[in-house]
Amino acid sequence: MVVILKPKTSTEEINKLTRDLESKGVTVNPVIGTELIILGLVGDTSKLDPCYIEANPYVERVMHVQEHFKKANRMFHPEDSIIDVNGNTIGGRKISVIAGPCSVETEEQIITVAKDVKKYGASFLRGGAFKPRTSPYSFQGLKYDGLELLKIAREQTGLPIVTEIMSPYDIEVFNENVDVIQVGARNMQNFDLLKELGKTNKTILLKRGLSATIEELLMSAEYIMAGGNENVILCERGIRTFETYTRNTLDLSAIPAIKKLSHLPVIVDPSHAAGKWWMVEPLAKAAVAVGADGLIIEVHNDPQKAWCDGQQSIKPELFSNIMDDLRIIAEAVGREI
Ligand code: PEP
Ligand code: MN
């Protein structure tokens, strides 16, 4: 529900009405513009009577919102959200790059890759410890040992770590040890997991489901935000289409669409989108050109021997070249890396 106030409503009146509405169990997000004052009401508005609110002389109009997502909606939060992870920001002018292997394999592997990606300009280290594999016989990740190796890599490089959670049972461990918790495409609609993540204060990297619409992605973000955690980064990682040449089809149009609908930062994963290492470069460039706030790229020191997703992993040298080109593209679109 949206309450539109008369243009010259005083701060005192706004606060009074806000307190009154909040006493009925909703959260009020005010947007105070020069032309318009809007109160965005989030929560269970079923107990609010629009006639009662409209009886207030400062209220111009009460409107029911068609959009199902509220906290993630740009309507109630016109400014871009900038998420801070231990001093590293995602969103705003800077484009952030998360890089690292698909999965953590050995101490030597994760440290080597972490040092390389840091040298070439990544600001976060990725690495899966819990892997959602299509086959139960494929490598499932080093699990808790993998988290420990990521922590060693963080200690040695200073890079914050981004890693995927699969189960709500692991939230405490992730909350304690990880800087950004990734929710993978396969768990985008694991609503129990999303609700639990909403109770934490961690930054959540929410990847778009394999066949999820943009609205479904935003509704999943809403699950986390409705719980009180507004530190959500969205990720376009390719969707299932009839095309089989690529692993998925990168939906570049999702970036401007999400930017229009939501204030949350949105990044692109060209590695899982294409499933081919040589496509990472052109897709990463396109992502920056189209307005992405960042990239998540799989980098491996020896892709041919990778335990997971070697075919789409690039070597550190290519990562370095791509970063050089991305700096030029970023500048052309008014951003920086
Ligand atoms: C990953 O990032 O390693 C991963 C499994 O990605 P997605 O959930 O997008 O498939
Ligand atoms: Mn992978």
Domain ranges of the chain: 2-63, 83-332
Residue 266: what pLDDT?
98
CATH class of the domain at 2-63: alpha beta
Residue 91: what pLDDT?
96
Nearest to 26 by CA among 43, 50, 49: 43
Residue 63: what pLDDT?
86
Residue ranges of the chain with per-residue pLDDT less than 50: none
Nearest to 299 by CA among 289, 307, 310: 310
Q: Locate the ligand 1 atom nearest the alpha carbon of residue 102 and give its number.
A: 3
Ligand 1 in contact with 128 (CB < 6 A)?
yes
Residue 329: what pLDDT?
98
Ligand 1 in contact with 272 (CB < 6 A)?
yes
DSSP state of 92: S
Q: Nearest residue CA, atom 10 of ligand 1? A: 185
Residue 180: what pLDDT?
98
Q: What are the start-end ranges of the E strands in 216-293?
A: 232-236, 266-268
Write out the residues surrounding ion ligand 2, Cβ under 5 A. Answer: 102, 309
Contacts of 101 (CB under 8 A, 6+ apart): 109, 110, 113, 126, 127, 128, 298, 299, 300, 306, 308, 313
**Sole residue written with tokens 């890079």:** 159
CA of 22 to the centre of ligand 2 (A): 44
Instruction: Kindly report the CATH number that applies to the domain delimited by 83-332.
Output: 3.20.20.70
Residue from 186, 240, 272, 307 to probe ligand 1 pocket by mutation (most atoms less than 8 Å from CB): 272
CA of 23 to the centre of ligand 1 (A): 42
Q: Nearest residue CA, atom 6 of ligand 1? A: 184
Nearest to 250 by CA among 237, 262, 263, 259: 237
Task: Give CA–CA dist 296/34, Å, rounded.
Answer: 38
Residue 215: what pLDDT?
96
Task: Give CA–CA dist 222/337, Å, rounded.
Answer: 29
